[in-house]
Structure formats: structure tokens, C-alpha cells
Structure 1
Amino acid sequence: MGKINGCLKCLFIFFNVISAIIGCGLIYVMVRLQIYSSQLAEYVDTSMAWGWVFAIGVLGISILGIVAACTEKLIILRIFAAFMGIGLIIMMIFGIVVVVFRNKVKDMFDSTSAEKAKSYIEDDKARGMLEDIQKTLYCCGLLSYEDWNTTIPNSCDCDLAVGGGYQPSGASGYECISRPKGSSGPDQIFKQSCRDTVFWWFNIIFQVMMGFFFGLAVTALLGLLVSILMIHQVRRHDSGGGASMAMKSY
């Protein structure tokens, strides 16, 4: 009979196999992203490097956990527990950073004034970007359609979106209203502002990231607790306390 409870060992190995599969999936994603890296921003190398470190780390630690459970070596179990403790701290820090950054982005969006919106629209490059956003996310104006004054562009055309001229992209939904009197442009325009719609998308991304990091933190905590229990069983066995006790069934 082994030093570690058989059921506990099998459960531990199973979850590490799942983690290893996830690690392989992350590596595959990084390989695919590497193909398009030349088309990304100049800081992409740093981001890709951290992605590779994370993906390889997940795979490596998972393999270490499997080896630790199979060999029942105290030193390997301790190394795995140390990695779980470090991973728990890092994932908690990343999760908190995402929460803080999300709040800063929200404050930045909320503090956008009409003057900033006007200067944004007056810039040709920014104006073109805003029009692309309007077509994609079904919105009009940075703060509202009033940002365009009396000349509303065709990218705010709500009738064209309903008629199939624009392809839906999963935006938070849109509502059509009549064009204000005294203005030129489409008869029906989007009611939603692009600021609210863009932040809606950002908020979804932040929520996914928070769930990801805090979920990994919980997983690391469970891995740490299980590895500590396994270390206790191995030490108990090596100290002459006998084979590991069978788990009770209730």
C-alpha cells in the first residue's frame, strides 16, 4: 500500500492532468498568436513573452504535481506546495490589479466631458476611428448623438443596421430614435452613446479576467491544501506511523 491515500492520489492526479491539458491549450494559443505577432503593436514581444511563461508554467507545474503524486517523494511534494503558494499570491495580486484597473477605466470614461468629446471629433484620425466604432457597436457619438452637432454621419444610421447593412457583432443591443430636428443625416440614428457601449465591452473583459485570476487563486489554494495533506501522510508513513489510512465512506 502506498504512502498516500489512494483516492486522494487519484483525485490529485486527475486535476493535474486537466491542468496539463489546459497548459497545452494555452501553448497552442500562444503558437497561433505568434503567427500574427508581426501585425501587433511594438510592445507585443513583452506580452507574448509573459504569455509563454504563463502557459509553460501551467504545464510544468501540472506535470510536477503528477510526478509528485506518483513518486510520493517528500521533496517533490514540498516543491509543488511551494509553487502553489507562490501561484496563489501571484493570482490574487493579478486579480486585485484587474479590479483596480477596471475602476480607473470606469472613472476615465465617466470623467469624459463634452469639450473632450468635441476635440475628439474634430481630430480627423479620431473621428474616423469613432465612425468605425459606431458601425461595429451600434452607437452614435462619444457621449451622445449631440456630439455631432447638426451633421450626423451615416455610421449612426440605425435603419441601415436593421436592414442588414451592418453585421451584428454581439453588442449590448441598440435602440433607434428619430434624427433631431434641424440636423442632417440618417432619419433613424442609434440612441446609445459609444462611451457606454465601449465600457460595456470593457467591463465584460474585466469580469472574465477577474474570474480567471481569482478562479486560479482558488485552484492554487486547493492544490496547496491537498499537497500539505499528502506531505503529512508521507511524513507519517516515513516516521513509522504505518500506511496511509483509508478514507472513510459515509
Structure 2
Amino acid sequence: MAQINTCLKRTFTIFNIFFAIVGGVIIALALLCQILTNVEGRENLEGRTSSLVGLYLFGAITMMVAILGAYGAHKESKASLVVFLVCMIIGTLLMLRAGIPTAIARPQIEGILEQKVQEFLPLDESQPDVQNMANSLQTAMHCCGLFSYRDWRKNIPESCSCNPEEEVGQCRNVEYRNFIFQTKSVYAKPCFPILMHYILLFADILLGIVFTLAILALLGLVLSSIMIHQLRYPSRPTVLLSVPAIFTPVPPKYQELHNPPAY
């Protein structure tokens, strides 16, 4: 005989399906980040590999926990639901621990990265891996220099070259003196603002996922607690699902007496 309310079981199953979809989205996001950052010179970016592995692992754990919860509800397994409840408690605390400081620090991301990138200037004297990364950015994003084409001083690379006939409105002519005065058509936009746009977009998406998971974990905590309560006390009504009776019929204090007719 089923001990868990059927409506609650269906709600919990739908919740876990959505929870598993969120885990799949996290894995897809990690795969997209890996594809977008898999260009020459970016392999040495600090923390890239560990961040991608963390996203893959986090998405896989989210899907496994969702499957565990769905299994526990379907089989009415108390042990599975208890493990799911513990995971929800840990998940809620971790999401809040990661999301709140990140949301507070988000307005400072651009300033911190700008200060870090300034250390690479001038680009023509930077390390070869930094130059390779800059050239890859310039080719992919159609930009020149991190903050300006002047970041390369007199050695503007070919990755900055722009064809005015093919890319109308994206080029500018610059003059610089090497041995003689030279004029070169380069991309007008610097790379750092474009790069920051994608970094902040990624940060916003990540924050959205973190707080969505925190809300889902809190909801899963409540639902699994109710189901465990029903399994532990099958004959006792669940307080959270019972509607208190505000108005109860009260028998009248007085009843009218009718004397039988006399014959």
C-alpha cells in the first residue's frame, strides 16, 4: 500500500525532472565554455581546466541527486529520500555560500581584471603565450590591442589588419613611425571591452544558475522532509499539507421541542 500522497509524489517527480534538466544545462554550459576557450594560447590561462572540470562535476552530481530523489519517491525508499534530504541541505548551504559573495563581488570584476591585464603591456614585449592569446583574440573578435592598438606600439601584428572594403565601419587607419612613416588599416575596437562583455555575461548566467539551484534545493528539502514524515508516520496526517478547519459546525444550544398532538 502506498504510504506517500500521490499528488505529492507526482510533484516531487516533476521537481526532480526539472532539477535534472538544470544539471544538463550546467554540463552544456561547461561544454560551450570549453569550445569557446579552446584556441591557441588560452590553454595556459590560470584556472581554466579546474573551472571546466568543476562545472562538469557539478552538473553530473546535480543529475545524479535528481535521479536519486525520483527513485526514492517512486519506490518509497526512506533511505534514498534521507540521502536526498542531506544533499539538499548541503546544496542549499553551498549555493548560498558561493552565490552571495559572488553577487557582492560582481561589480568589482572589471576593475580587478583590468588591473591584471595591464601587467601584460606593452604587448610587443610580453611573453610569447600572452602574444599568442592576444593574436587569437584579435582574430576571433575582430579587435586590435587590449585597450588600444597602441598596446603593440610600433609592432602591430597582422591579426590586427582590417580590410575596409569587407568590414565597413570596423576599421581605422593608423600612422606609426618605424624607419619610415607607415599607414595601416586595423580594427577600431579594442579587445578588452568585448572580452569583458562575455565575462560579465557568463558571470550573470552563473549567478542565475547558482541562485536557481539554491531555491530548488530549498524546495527539495521541504518536499523530501514531508515525504519522509509520511513514510515514518503513515497513519498520522501531515501538518504542512492539512488545512486547519476554521469554521466547524456547532450544534445548537437549544432545540425546539414539539409536543405530539393530542387525540
Number of the residue aligned with 1:184:
182
Partner of 1:237: helix, strand, or coil?
Answer: coil
Cα distance in 1 between the residues matched to 2:30 and 2:75 = 31
Number of the residue aligned with 2:67:
63
**Is the counterpart of residue 208 in structure 1 residue 205 in structure 2?**
yes
TM score, norm. by length of structure 1:
0.68
1:74-93 equivalences in 2 (<5 Å): 74-93=78-97
**Is the counterpart of residue 225 in structure 1 residue 222 in structure 2?**
yes
Number of the residue aligned with 1:155:
159
Number of the residue aligned with 1:129:
133
Cα distance in 1 between the residues matched to 2:144 and 2:188 = 7
Contact 1:141–1:194 under 8 Å retained in 2? yes
**Is the counterpart of residue 237 in structure 1 residue 234 in structure 2?**
yes
Q: Tell me which amino acid in the other structure corresponds to 1:197.
A: I
- Higher mean Cα deviation, 201-210 or 74-83? 74-83
Cα distance in 1 between the residues matched to 2:58 and 2:8 = 27
Provide the alpha-carbon RMSD of the alignment: 4.2
Shift of 1:100: 6.3
Shift of 1:202: 1.6
Q: Tell me which amino acid in the other structure corresponds to 1:123.
A: S
Cα distance in 2 between the residues matched to 1:215 and 1:69 = 22
Contact 2:176–2:183 under 8 Å retained in 1? no
Q: Tell me which amino acid in the other structure corresponds to 2:226.
A: L
Cα-to-partner distance string for 1:30-87 (whole Å, 9 max, x where unaligned): 99x9xx9xxx679888667655653442233223212321233444433322211111
Contact 1:139–1:193 under 8 Å retained in 2? yes
Number of the residue aligned with 2:255:
none
Q: Tell me which amino acid in the other structure corresponds to 1:11.
A: T
Pick closer, same or farther for the CA change 1:17–1:138 going to 2, 3 Å: same
- Higher mean Cα deviation, 151-160 or 4-13? 151-160
Shift of 1:20: 4.4
* Structure 2 gap segments, 5+ residues each: 244-263
Contact 2:173–2:183 under 8 Å retained in 1? no
Cα distance in 1 between the residues matched to 2:192 and 2:52 = 29
Number of the residue aligned with 2:8:
8
Partner of 1:159: helix, strand, or coil?
Answer: coil
Contact 1:91–1:216 under 8 Å retained in 2? yes
Pick closer, same or farther for the CA change 1:128–1:18 going to 2, 3 Å: closer
**Is the counterpart of residue 142 in structure 1 residue 181 in structure 2?**
no
% identity of equivalent residues? 28
Cα distance in 2 between the residues matched to 1:156 and 1:191 = 9
Q: Tell me which amino acid in the other structure corresponds to 1:91.
A: M
Partner of 1:179: helix, strand, or coil?
Answer: strand
- Higher mean Cα deviation, 89-98 or 176-185? 176-185
Comparing both structures, which one devotes a greater share of its residues to helix? 1
* Structure 1 gap segments, 5+ residues each: 165-173
Number of the residue aligned with 1:171:
none
The count of residues paired between Structure 1 and Structure 2 equals 228
Q: Tell me which amino acid in the other structure corresponds to 1:177.
A: R
Number of the residue aligned with 2:114:
110
Pick closer, same or farther for the CA change 1:206–1:16 going to 2, 3 Å: same
Q: Which structure carries more relative contact order (alpha carbon 8 Å, separation 6+)?
A: 1
1:10-29 equivalences in 2 (<5 Å): 10-20=10-20
Shift of 1:27: 7.9
Cα distance in 2 between the residues matched to 1:99 and 1:147 = 32
Cα distance in 2 between the residues matched to 1:132 and 1:208 = 25
- Aligned to 1:197, which of 157, 175, 194? 194
